[in-house]
Amino acid sequence: SLPRDLTGCTLVVTAGGTREPLDPVRFLGNRSSGKQGFALARLAVQRGASVTVVAGATAELPVPAGVRVVNVTTAEQMRKAVHQLSERADIVIMAAAVADFRPVSVAESKIKKGNDEPTSIPLVKNPDILAEVVKRRDQGELPVTRVIVGFAAETGDEQGDVLTHARSKLNRKRCDLLVVNAVGEGKAFEVDSNMGWLLKADGTESALPLSSKNLMASRILDAVSSVLHTS
Ligand code: C5P
């Protein structure tokens, strides 16, 4: 049977991809399915937590029993929901693929083809929600938040490249745990399995061997639980 080690904990998980509109019919988006985030949410409920998923665009995933879902579309909407919910969350897990950029403006009507000239789309950077949550906790604005988990999808042929990028990302974002997924051909996106590494803020690193997203969720929650019960 499952451990009930998250009993009494409130958890927020972001999942899926954000969509940044260009005009009434088009958007910039990504291939995130939301499967890893939903797997984490389902398992966390089974381990005793009270769970809200902030879901961007996902594959048509069934909502796991006992999980509350807040649907959002854009990074800005996800940001608002996460900031509000994290004020009461013991654990914040950011599994969503947030668009790094969005169009500077949204056209009111459908952008025309024009004279067959390719149109370029001016972009601005989206806020880094994960970095903002870490910063708010540092500033004392999130009194109950004890574990913040980030994800990093890294491409790279050499394991060394992937880990080097991931270590610098952990240093930059300063979350407590970073789940590193090796992405590329048949890995991580839109599939049911995942592999990678788990990096802790204290420098501890462990491999996450190729496994189902459910098993991956269980390893991630084990690590969350160990941070909770040692801090
Ligand atoms: O820098 P990178 O996009 O690889 O960081 C990935 C991590 O940061 C993920 O946990 C993702 O959910 C989060 N993120 C975010 N806001 C952004 C970009 C990424 O919360 N604008």
What are the residue ranges spanned by the domains of the chain? 10-102+122-230
What's the pLDDT band for 9 if we cut at 50, 70, 90?
Answer: very high
| Contacting residues for 75 by C-beta, under 8 A, at least 6 apart | 18, 20, 98, 99, 102, 126, 127, 129
* Mutation choice for ligand 1 from 13, 30, 130, 154, CB with most ligand atoms inside 8 A: 130
Predicted structure pTM score? 0.94
Query: Closest by alpha carbon to 95, among 221, 228, 207?
Result: 221
State the pLDDT at residue 155. Answer: 76
Round the average pLDDT of the chain to a whole number and report it: 92
State the pLDDT at residue 157. Answer: 63
Which residue minimizes the CA distance to atom 4 of ligand 1? 152
Q: Residue 187 pLDDT > 60, yes or no?
A: no
Provide mean pLDDT across the span 129-139: 98
Lowest-pLDDT range of 78-92, 96-110, 147-161: 147-161
- Annotated binding residue 128: yes
What's the pLDDT band for 81 if we cut at 50, 70, 90?
Answer: very high
Provide mean pLDDT across the span 43-69: 97
**Is this complex's ipTM strictly greater than 0.90?**
yes
Residues touching ligand 1 (Cβ under 6 Å) are 14, 75, 94, 96, 98, 100, 126-130, 150-152
CA of 130 to the centre of ligand 1 (A): 6
Tell me the catalytic residues: 30
Provide mean pLDDT across the span 203-229: 94
User: Which atom of ligand 1 approaches the CA of 175 most closely?
Assistant: 10
User: Which atom of ligand 1 approaches the CA of 150 most closely?
Assistant: 10
Give the domain 10-102+122-230 fold: Rossmann fold (3.40.50)
Q: Residue 162 pLDDT > 60, yes or no?
A: yes
What's the pLDDT band for 190 if we cut at 50, 70, 90?
Answer: low
Question: What span, in angstroms and rounded, lies between the C-alpha atoms of 73 and 79?
Answer: 11
- Beta strands 123-125 and 147-154 are unpaired
State the pLDDT at residue 183. Answer: 76
Rounded to 5°, angle at Cα 193 from 200 and 53: 65
User: Which atom of ligand 1 approaches the CA of 169 most closely?
Assistant: 1
CA of 114 to the centre of ligand 1 (A): 35
